[in-house]
Amino acid sequence: MIIIKKIRKSIKEPKWFLLQVIYKFAILIPDKVYLKIVFRLQVGKKLNLKNPQTFNEKIQWLKLYDKRPEYTLLVDKYEAKKYVEKLVGKEYIIPTLGVWNKFEEIDFDKLPDQFVLKTTHDSGGVIICKDKSQLDINATRLLFNKFLKQNFFNITREWPYKNVIPRIIAEKYMVDESGSELKDYKIFNFNGKAKLIQVDFDRFAEHKRNLYSTKWEFIDAQIKYPYNPMHQIERPLQLKKMLWLAEVLSKGFPHVRTDLYSINDKIYFGELTFHHGSGHEKFTPESLNVDLGKSILLPNIDVN
């Protein structure tokens, strides 16, 4: 059944089929060539690396040339917590319940009934467990063993992930005022200056994404996922502190997205992302892509 669905999708979406082929042989393709091919297929435009202008183009440039060693620790979901705790304090850290190199090392009897299980070295390797008695351990094992074998860098060419040690981390399960989810407040920062706030919600139903200015003014635009102007999210009471945290954690970097959570008016750190959407997400209108691109001041690096 799965194979039939893939065949149908390949016929309807030839670009999707080409991407699957490219991904399969990704490790054999040089970085610059790979980025140009994938950008053309994902974005539908030729990638300009010599004189990048848009946000998405500059993200590709940063992936290719900005390779600071500390990035490896800052995208590691376990090590990043230590960095943030040292910089701003332990009160912003979601409690860690355990960290393991292999799935078989996890003693589920010692975990609470509710928890979050995620991999430390990639994006998307996560399971939210709301009832441990209902968790399919064997299915979870197969899934996480698959995650642990993957190198996120090979597909995205996001250099920070290349040398992250694959591990599994368990965190305390937390929800916000909705009682059912944990909204992401993703703050786009440029050289330590916050400029845009992206809020993701309804991720487990029909994923939506609203954009706000740093003054909490709704922005009539979207990045990949549809927005809902009728669903106005209340301004966080701790907005000023959230922006302060985002700017402290992003200081000294051309661009980094700081993900935070607001729970009962307390702020918690989520993660640091240096290449939002891997530089492939669609901006509507395109002028937002151009505007954010102007905010990225590329470091003076000898690209030769």
Q: Are residues 212 and 63 in the same domain?
A: yes
Of 15, 32, 47, the last residue of a domain is: 47
Position 138 pLDDT exceeds 80: yes
Distance of CA 76 to the CA centre of its chain: 12
40 and 52 together in one domain:
no
What pLDDT, on a 0 to 100 scale, did the predictor assign at position 2?
A: 55
pLDDT in tens, 158-168: 999 999 999 99
Please give the single-letter amino acid code of residue 102: K
| CATH code where residue 57 lies | 3.30.470
Examine the domain organization and report whether 60 and 203 are in the same domain. Answer: yes
Which of these, 12, 20, 15, 24, lies nearest to 44 by C-alpha position? 15
- The closest of 258, 234, 232 to 80, measured between CA atoms, is 258
pLDDT at 6 over 70: no
Task: Examine residue 146 and state whether it is found in any structural domain, yes or no.
Answer: no
Residue pLDDT, tens place only, 262-302? 888 899 999 999 999 999 999 999 999 999 999 999 998 88
Q: What is the pLDDT of residue 265?
A: 82
**Domain of 42?**
2-47
Assigned token pair, 240 = 């000023």
Whether 225 and 77 share a structural domain: yes
> Distance (Å, rounded) from C-alpha 211 to C-alpha 221?
7
| Threshold 0.85, pTM exceeds | yes
Helix (H) or strand (E) holding 19: helix 14-24
Cross-strand partners of 256: 189
User: Does the residue 257 lie in any domain?
Assistant: yes
- 292 part of a folded domain: yes
Three-state DSSP state, 255: coil
- Report whether 159 contacts 71 (CB < 8 A): yes
Weakest-pLDDT range from 27-31, 60-64, 124-128, 269-273: 124-128
Mean pLDDT, to the nearest integer, of 111-117? 97
pLDDT tens, position by position, 13-31:
778 899 999 999 999 999 9
Same domain, 70 and 218: yes
**Mean predicted confidence (pLDDT) in 199-227:** 91
Q: What is the pLDDT of residue 56?
A: 98
**Rounded to whole angstroms, how far apart are CA atoms 76 and 198?**
22
- Does some domain include residue 255? yes
**Claim to verify: residue 259 and residue 282 sit in the same structural domain:** yes
pLDDT of the residue at 290: 98
Domain count, the chain: 2
Q: What pLDDT is attached to residue 3?
A: 55
Alpha helix (H) residue ranges in 26-113? 31-43, 55-65, 71-75, 79-88
Give the whole-number percent of the chain exceeding pLDDT 90: 82
Average pLDDT over residues 123-137: 93
Flag whether 55 is in a domain.
Answer: yes
> To the nearest whole percent, how much of the chain has pLDDT over 70?
94
| Mean pLDDT within 166-180 | 87
